[in-house]
Amino acid sequence: MGARATFQPIAVDQGPVVLDLDNTLIRTNVLHELTLAYLKGNPLRLFHLALWLARGKAHLKDQLSRRVTLDTDLLPVNEEVVAYAREQKALGRRVILATAAESLIARRIARRFDFITEVVGTENGVNLLGEAKALRLADMFPDGFLYVGDSAPDLHVWAVSKSAVVVSESQRFARKVGRIATVERHVRTGDAGRAMLKLMRPHQWAKNALVFAPLVLDGQATSLAAWTAAAIAFFALSFLASATYAINDLFDLQDDRAHWTKKNRPIASGALPIARAMVLSGALLLAAFALAALGNALTFTLILLYGVLTISYSLALKRQPVTDAFVLAALFTLRIGIGIAAVGATPSPWLLVFSMFLFGSLSLAKRYTEIARMKDAGRAKVAGRGYVAEDAALVLAMGLASGLAAIVIMVLYLIEDAFAAGFYVQPAFLWSFPPILFLWIGRVWLLCARGELHDDPVAFAIRDRTSIVMGAGMGLMFLGAVTGLSF
């Protein structure tokens, strides 16, 4: 959100204050919200939307409002506009809500605000937008009114108003409004560019560094071609991951708003408009597959599989208990598989099985944290997931078992394969891995049980000082194993 505006009293004789709804009183677009909620039930419903739209936008809004129930109490509010409206109400002015949103939904939203005295919305086949809204308001208030709006269609309304309050991130747009109306206030919204970057979650790209693991383990660390191929796969995966984060946040909108931290995500909070998020996700998908096409056919196929699996997870699989953790572990392991395909490394069953158990444990740790927080909040079910409070003990047991199984797999690898392979000069250094891994997994689950793990365990490990020290120690031991150097 931009800097808070300081509101000054405006003379009462300027008439009523008329508020727009979308991206003005609330920090989102009702039609976009309804469309997403409708498609979330079944993406093939897109054909329904096309048929309804062919009969006009008012018909589309009417059909969606009949079929979709929005939790209007969770829609993000522009607090600066609310403060302004309350102040004007206190001065004795009428405050009217005039919106292109369907009138019944607009009235439901208006009930949240005690300063709104009247609601005018889309109904009877008339889409109250642009010129239609201008004509309606000019007829209702022939002596003039102040209009609070945000976008180009509102220029028609400002042209017939006495004065304007502009809600926009753009100073240029505010100046444009100033050429046709007296601008009393410019309420700045947040930086959309920064919100887009936040939506992409570039800090999560660190997970995709797993594509470089096969390169190192296969003895190709000095090959420029291998590093180039792995780097292309890394960025393709990163762009794809960012696209799926955006898709996930779009379809999880209502659930995220009920979550203690996810409600601050760019789309859920209204910092980034839904339409921009959709464009961004499409552009990232194109960039990801364009990069993937530069690699070999197997790499492209695995990246495509990753995309299909992660979108399936976002749309449905994450609501299936236990299955969700398995899918997350599979996605981590698929990153390693993509790295193997990109550099032409020899596949290692040990590595792939170890990855499944390790990341399965970490995925379950994330779910356990969410269940524990849900219980603390007095709720019986995790929003947007298939877990209930009674699942906590099972998830804890499965997560610990999976983590210990990963350690057993590593020990078996050391006994059965590591000393026989010619890659390691001093494989004895690798015996430091099981105890370090045991201590780290134990630390993660200890913090989980105490309620002190507040984030994704992988993201936690990247920032946690103890985890970094343990990781550095394992890196040194690996270097000793490969080179034979002693420390």
Interval 84-97 mean pLDDT: 95
337-382 pLDDT, tens digit per residue, is 999 999 999 888 999 999 999 999 999 998 898 888 887 767 767 6
The count of residues in the chain is: 487
At residue 371, what are phi and psi to the nearest 5 degrees? -65, -45
Query: Can you give the pLDDT at residue 2?
Result: 42
Beta strands 163-167 and 182-187 are parallel
Query: Can you give the pLDDT at residue 356?
Result: 96
Q: Tell me the pLDDT band of 191, cut-offs 50, 70 and 90.
A: confident
Is the model's pLDDT at 307 over the cut of 90?
yes
Query: Can you give the pLDDT at residue 384?
Result: 64
* Closest by CA position to 361, among listed 320, 332, 318: 332
Tokens of 309: 């699996």
Is the model's pLDDT at 240 over the cut of 70?
yes
Query: Can you give the pLDDT at residue 1?
Result: 40
Per-residue H/E/C for the chain = CCCCCCCCCCCHHHCCEEECHHHHHECCCHHHHHHHHHHHHCHHHHHHHHHHHHCCHHHHHHHHHHHCCCCHHHCCECHHHHHHHHHHHHCCCCEEEEEEEEHHHHHHHHCCCCCCCEEEEEECCECCCCHHHHHHHHHHCCCCCEEEECCHHHHHHHCCCCEEEEECCCHHHHHHHHCCCEEEEEECCCCHHHHHHHHHCHHHHHHHHHHHHHHHHCCCCCCHHHHHHHHHHHHHHHHHHHHHHHHHHHHCHHHHHCCCCHHHCHHHHCCCCHHHHHHHHHHHHHHHHHHHCCCCHHHHHHHHHHHHHHHHHHHCHHHCCCHHHHHHHHHHHHHHHHHHHHHCCCCCHHHHHHHHHHHHHHHHHHHHHHHHHHHHCCCCECCCCCCEHHHHHHHHHHHHHHHHHHHHHHHHHHHHHHCCCCCCCCHHHHHHHHHHHHHHHHHHHHHHHHCCCCCCHHHHHHHCHHHHHHHHHHHHHHHHHHHCCCC
Query: Can you give the pLDDT at residue 12?
Result: 45
More confident residue, 383 or 152: 152
Interval 46-65 mean pLDDT: 94
- CB neighbours of residue 351 within 10 Å: 20
Query: Can you give the pLDDT at residue 380?
Result: 67
98 strand-pairing partners: 120
Is the model's pLDDT at 151 over the cut of 60?
yes
Is the model's pLDDT at 226 over the cut of 70?
yes
Query: Can you give the pLDDT at residue 8?
Result: 45
Question: How would you list the strands of the sheet with 182-187, edge to edge?
Answer: 118-122, 95-102, 17-19, 146-149, 163-167, 182-187
Query: Can you give the pLDDT at residue 462?
Result: 80
Determine what percent of the chain is predicted with pLDDT higher than 70.
94
Q: What is the mean pLDDT of the chain?
A: 90
Query: Can you give the pLDDT at residue 120?
Result: 96
Question: 46: which residues sit within 8 A by CB, 6+ positions away?
Answer: 39
Question: For 440-444, which contacts have Cβ atoms below 8 Å and span 24 or more sequence positions?
Answer: 440/467, 440/470, 441/358, 441/361, 441/403, 441/404, 441/406, 441/407, 443/467, 444/361, 444/362, 444/365, 444/403
Is the model's pLDDT at 318 over the cut of 90?
no
Query: Can you give the pLDDT at residue 90?
Result: 94
Query: Can you give the pLDDT at residue 390?
Result: 85
Query: Can you give the pLDDT at residue 383?
Result: 63
2-53 pLDDT, tens digit per residue, is 444 444 444 445 689 999 999 999 999 999 999 999 998 788 899 999 999 9
CA gap 164, 155 in Å, rounded? 10
Determine what percent of the chain is predicted with pLDDT higher than 90.
70
Query: Can you give the pLDDT at residue 455?
Result: 64
* Closest by CA position to 155, among listed 141, 137, 173: 173
CA gap 212, 94 in Å, rounded? 63
Is the model's pLDDT at 333 over the cut of 70?
yes
- CA-angle at 37, arms to 73 and 75, nearest 5°: 20
Tokens of 15: 């008439």
Spacing of C-alpha 462 from chain mean position: 20
Q: Set out the domains of the chain in order of their start, with CATH numbers.
A: 12-189 (3.40.50.1000), 194-347 (1.10.357.140)
Query: Can you give the pLDDT at residue 10?
Result: 45
Question: 20: which residues sit within 8 A by CB, 6+ positions away?
Answer: 98, 99, 147, 148, 149, 150, 154, 167
410-434 pLDDT, tens digit per residue, is 999 998 887 766 678 888 899 999 9
Do residues 248 and 314 lie in contact, with contact meaning Cβ atoms separated by under 8 Å? yes
CA gap 27, 16 in Å, rounded? 22
Query: Can you give the pLDDT at residue 5?
Result: 42
More confident residue, 240 or 383: 240
Q: How far, in Å, are 61, 206, 474 from residue 434 at the CA level? A: 59, 23, 10
